[in-house]
Structure 1
Amino acid sequence: MKGSLNDAELLEALAREEAELQFDAFTNDTALRLGLELADRATASGQAVTIDIRRGSQQLFHYACPGTSADNDDWVARKARVAERFLCSSYRLEVELRASGRTIAERYFLDPSLYAPYNGAFPIRVRGAGAIGTIAVSGLTGDGDHRLVASVLSDYLAAGR
């Protein structure tokens, strides 16, 4: 998504993406289908990622592709905490912090060993209910984790599932 956008433009695009990528309903089966699609898409591209999908504090899906490690489990948990706490993608908070020149510890007094404001976690929003959970991915470089999640969500929702 970054391309040639400056931080202000990227923040607008990320907020717009979050507003668009909402569900009419979200079930355990939805989490399973999304998780499997994320894993299939990563594997088909030769990428190794860890995927975590939660509704509230309940873990509905977790998969670690071959080539990942326990470090990726830590990263998805830390990124998901950001999306859950701030009700926005962890990428959006990453860009906001970069634009402000401050860290998550400096701006929000949060422990960076628990909160990772880096791309890869996305809030699960249900129309009429708001944010009900998170989808998090770890393992790709650049903004790849975010792009994987956003593209799978976009395709899934466009298919009317």
Structure 2
Amino acid sequence: MTDDALPVFTIESLEPQLALLRLRSFDQDDAYALGTIAAEMIRDRGLVMAVQIVIGEHVVYKAALNGVSGDTADWLRRKSNTAKRRGEPSLLVRRRLEAEGHTLADGGLDEADFAAHGGAVPIFVDDELVATITTSGEPDVIDHEVAIAAAMEFVAR
């Protein structure tokens, strides 16, 4: 896939997604359903990617598909940490930092534990951040696209 074919996300296009995953409840069964939706999308699209759902600090769903590399686990953790810390999709964090000319380190976040790359989306219950869905393995805009598409399908069910 060439860079020209990659989806483009701006702050303005990402901000409405903040309201998407505000749910009445979200438990381990929901995590399994959401993770399975994402895994099927990854498989169907032939992407080399992993998906992980974390509730609190507990990994409750994880799948690695199509030969994704082992270092993806660290990317999943770092992106999820970013979405949890900032309370917004990690790609939106990246776009905001780019617009401001800043980095995560400028805000006191160690890049060994945080990553301003797309793919992690927070899940809220009654305005409390309870979980994240994170994908990694492809360019970060593709990672974000799959995570948000899976979330939209989950909400629509």
TM-score by length of 1: 0.88
Matching residue of 2:112: 113
Cα distance in 1 for residues equivalent to 2:21 and 2:61 = 19
Query: What's the secondary structure of 1:42's corresponding residue?
Result: helix
The reply on whether 1:59 has 2:59 as its aligned counterpart is: yes
The reply on whether 1:132 has 2:130 as its aligned counterpart is: yes
Cα distance in 2 for residues equivalent to 1:55 and 1:142 = 22
Matching residue of 1:30: 30
Cα distance in 1 for residues equivalent to 2:65 and 2:148 = 19
Q: Write out aligned runs for 1:2-17 (5 A).
A: 3=8, 10-17=10-17
Letter in 2 for 1:49: M
Matching residue of 2:150: 152
Aligned residues: 152
Comparing 79-88 with 12-21, greater Cα deviation is found at 12-21
Q: Any stretches of 5+ residues in structure 2 without a counterpart?
A: 1-5
Query: What's the secondary structure of 1:70's corresponding residue?
Result: coil
Comparing 71-80 with 150-159, greater Cα deviation is found at 150-159
Comparing 114-123 with 61-70, greater Cα deviation is found at 61-70
Q: Percent identity?
A: 29
1:26-59 CA distance string (max 9 Å, x none): 1111101111111111111111111110111111
Q: Write out aligned runs for 1:65-144 (5 A).
A: 65-106=65-106, 108-126=107-125, 128-144=126-142
Query: What's the secondary structure of 1:12's corresponding residue?
Result: helix
- Flag as ranges the 4+ runs of structure 1 deviating above 2 A: none
The CA deviation at 1:11 is: 1.7
Q: Any stretches of 5+ residues in structure 1 without a counterpart?
A: none
The CA deviation at 1:129 is: 4.3
Q: 1:83 to 1:142 in 2, by over 3 A?
A: closer
Cα distance in 1 for residues equivalent to 2:7 and 2:150 = 17
TM-score by length of 2: 0.90
Letter in 2 for 1:26: F
Please tell me the root mean square deviation across aligned C-alpha atoms, in Å. Answer: 1.6
Cα distance in 1 for residues equivalent to 2:34 and 2:151 = 8
